Amino acid sequence: MSKQPFLRLFFGVERPATRAPASRLVAAIRDQIRSSPALEGCRLPPVRVLAHQIGVAKGTIQTVYDELKAQGIVESRNREGLFVSRREGAIAPAAPPSSGVSPPKLKPIPLLKRGAPERRPGLLPLSAVFIDPRLLPRKRLADCFRSVLASPGMPGTYDVQGLRALREWIAARLRRRGIVAHADHIVITNGSQQALDIVLRAIATPTIATENPAYAVGKRLAELSGLEVVGLKVDPFSGLDLGLWERQLRDHRPGLVYLTTNFQNPSGYSYTTGQLSQIAAWSRELGFGVLEDDWGSDMLSYSEFRPSLRTLGGENVLYMNSFTKKLLPSLRLGYLLGDERTIETLVHTKRVSSLAVPALVEAGLLEFLERGYYEAFLRTLHEELDARYRHCLDLLDALMPEEVRWTAPGGGPILWLDLPRAISLRDLEERMRRRGVQIVTSEDAFFGEPHLHGFRIGHAYLAPAEMARALELLARELRAVLGRRAA
Ligand SMILES: Cc1ncc(COP(=O)(O)O)c(C=O)c1O
C-alpha cells in the first residue's frame, strides 16, 4: 500500500524561527491541528524535512515532536511515521465559517431549473440520449489505448488545435459525406459541448437564436454567457412555422443561430431539405452565422441520407459533431469545423479556455479510427439500433392509451411522446421513479410556456426487454391517471 502524503504545516511569512524555542513551534503546530478537525489522521513531515523547511536544527524538531507526542496531539504508527491523533481531531471543535470571509461570488443561477437530469443508478433511463453502453466496442477501444500507451509514438505533449492526424482523418470522412472540410479548419474539442462553449465565448453579437424546445444545457450555457437567446418554435408533429421563424429572425437579428438539424434534442425533429435551404438563404440575406450541431449523424443508417446545413450554407456555417454519443461517452471527444476566417479565433478561444483536450485520448481514438474499427462498429450498431427503434414504435402502438401521441423520426436516438394536458408531468415523473423508471420532462428546454406536453424517449439505450418493461409500466400509469380523470 502506498504511503499517505505529508501534512503541510505553515509558520507565517516572516523567516520564522531560526531561534524559535521548541515551545513556540509546539504551540504553532498544536494550534493548527486544533483549529482544523480535517487534519485528524494526517501524516506529519519527517524531522529532517520540517527542519529544512523552517531552518532549524533537526534536534529542535525532534524535541517538538516528542513534546507533541507526550501531549497526545500526535501519535506514531509502526514504521509509518507520526500522525495527528484521532482523539485530537475528534475533540477539536469544528471551526465555524469565519465571519467576513466569503467564498468566491458566483452567479446565483443553478445549472438548470430542475437540476441536471443525472442518471440515477437502479432506474431504467427511458429518456437517455446515449447508446446502450453494452453495445459499445469497449474491447477494441481498450486494445487501441493499450497499443498507444505502449508505443514510442505516445504523445508527450499536445497540439492546442488537436492532434493533426486525427483532424485529417475527420476532414477526410466529412468530405466523403459531402462536407467541404480541411484539417486546418478543424478544432478538436472536449465533447461537442466544448465546441458550443467556444463558439458562444467567441461570438461578437449579443443575441443568438436556437430551437424551442432547445438542447437545455446548451441554452443554459448561452444564458450563463450573458447572451440573449431567442427560441424558434419546433413542433415535431407539424414541423417548423417558417413564417414565424422569419419574423423572429428579422425582429431580433441574432448574430448566430444554433440548430441541431438531425433528431433535435429533445423533440427528435429532423429538418427537411427545403427548410435547411430556406435557413441557409436567410443566413446569407440577414447576415447571421449558423452553428450546426450534427449530433445525430452516424447513429442510425437513415441519418446519413440527410443533407447538412454546412453543405447547403457553405462556410457561413460552423459545424460541430462528437464521438461521445456514438462511440463512448467517456471519450469526451468532439470537433468543430470553421474556415480560414474563423479558425484562428476558435483555436485561440479554446487555448484560453482549456489549452487542449488530452492528447492521449486523441491518440487512442485515432488508433481506433485508423484500424477501420469505427466503420465496422457502425455497421453492426446500425442494425441493432434500427431494430430497437422499430421495436419501440411497435410497443408504443400496442401499449399506449389512444389520447397519447408520439413521433416517428425515422431513427436517431430519441422520439417525442406527447401526453394530454390533464396529466401532470411532475407527478408522472415521480410515479415512474417509484416504479423504477426515470423520465426527463425537459421543462428547462422551453422558452416560456411549453407548447408540447411530454418527454423524449431514448430508444437507443434500453435493451428490448427493458424497453418493453419501461413502456408497460408507463402505459399502466397513464391509464391509471387518465381513468381516474374520466371517472
Ligand atoms: C444536441 C446536443 N448537442 C451537444 C451535446 C453535448 O454532447 P457531447 O459534449 O457529449 O458531445 C448534447 C448532449 O447531450 C446534445 O444533446
Place of cell 458566483: 106
Nearest atom (ligand 1) to Cα of 192: 11
Best CA proximity match to 157, nearest among 356, 367, 330, 335: 356
Residue 157 has what DSSP assignment? S
Q: What are the Cα distances from residue 215, in Å, to 30, 248, 290, 410?
A: 53, 19, 16, 20
Q: Are strands 289-293 and 317-322 parallel, antiparallel or unpaired?
A: parallel
Q: How crowded is the C-beta side of 180, counted as CA atoms within 13 Å?
A: 11
Residues 327-383: tens digit of each pLDDT: 888 899 999 999 999 999 999 999 999 999 999 999 999 999 999 999 999 989 989
Q: What angle do CA 84, 85, 87 make, to 5 degrees?
A: 140
Average pLDDT over residues 12-19: 53
Residue 162 has what DSSP assignment? -
Reported as type and span, the H/E element at residue 176 is helix 164-176
Q: Rounded to an integer, what distance in angstroms lies between the CA atom of residue 314 and that of residue 293?
A: 15
Q: What are the Cα distances from residue 486, in Å, to 396, 423, 425?
A: 22, 12, 18
What's the predicted TM-score (pTM) here? Answer: 0.86
Instruction: Give strand pairing partners of 247.
Output: none
Number of H helices, E strands in the chain: 16, 15
Average pLDDT over residues 197-202: 97
Q: Under 8 Å CB-to-CB from 379, ≥6 apart: which residues?
A: none
Q: What local confidence, expressed as pLDDT, does residue 286 receive?
A: 95
Q: Is 262 in the pocket of ligand 1 (CB under 6 A)?
A: no
Q: What local confidence, expressed as pLDDT, does residue 89 receive?
A: 44
Residues 257-289: tens digit of each pLDDT: 999 998 999 999 999 989 999 999 999 999 999
Q: Is 335 in the pocket of ligand 1 (CB under 6 A)?
A: no
Q: What are the Cα distances from residue 269, in Å, to 213, 237, 332, 409?
A: 11, 8, 25, 6
Q: Under 8 Å CB-to-CB from 322, ≥6 apart: which residues?
A: 189, 191, 192, 195, 295, 333, 334, 335
Does the CA dihedral 176-328-456-458 come out positive or negative? positive
Q: Rounded to an integer, what distance in angstroms lies between the CA atom of residue 130 and that of residue 139?
A: 19
Best residue for ligand 1 mutational test, from 293, 320, 331, 456 (most atoms within 8 Å of Cβ): 293
Q: Where are the beta strands (DSSP E) in 226-316?
A: 228-235, 239-240, 256-259, 289-293
Average pLDDT over residues 6-22: 66
Q: Is 197 in the pocket of ligand 1 (CB under 6 A)?
A: no
- pLDDT surpassing 70 at residue 15: no
Between the CA of 247 and the centroid of ligand 1 the distance, in Å, is: 28
Residue 419 — φ and ψ, nearest 5°?
A: -115, 160
Q: What local confidence, expressed as pLDDT, does residue 21 receive?
A: 77
- pLDDT surpassing 70 at residue 478: yes
Q: Where are the beta strands (DSSP E) in 215-271?
A: 228-235, 239-240, 256-259
Q: Is 127 in the pocket of ligand 1 (CB under 6 A)?
A: no
Best residue for ligand 1 mutational test, from 265, 294, 331 (most atoms within 8 Å of Cβ): 265
Residues 76-128: tens digit of each pLDDT: 987 888 999 986 444 445 555 556 667 777 766 555 555 545 566 789 999 99
Q: Rounded to an integer, what distance in angstroms lies between the CA atom of residue 33 and that of residue 28?
A: 9
**With left for phi above 0 and alpha for psi between -120 and 50, is residue 263 left, alpha or beta?**
left
Read off the C-alpha cell for 235: 413542433
Read off the C-alpha cell for 370: 485508423
Q: Is 294 in the pocket of ligand 1 (CB under 6 A)?
A: no
Q: Is 268 in the pocket of ligand 1 (CB under 6 A)?
A: no
- pLDDT surpassing 60 at residue 399: yes
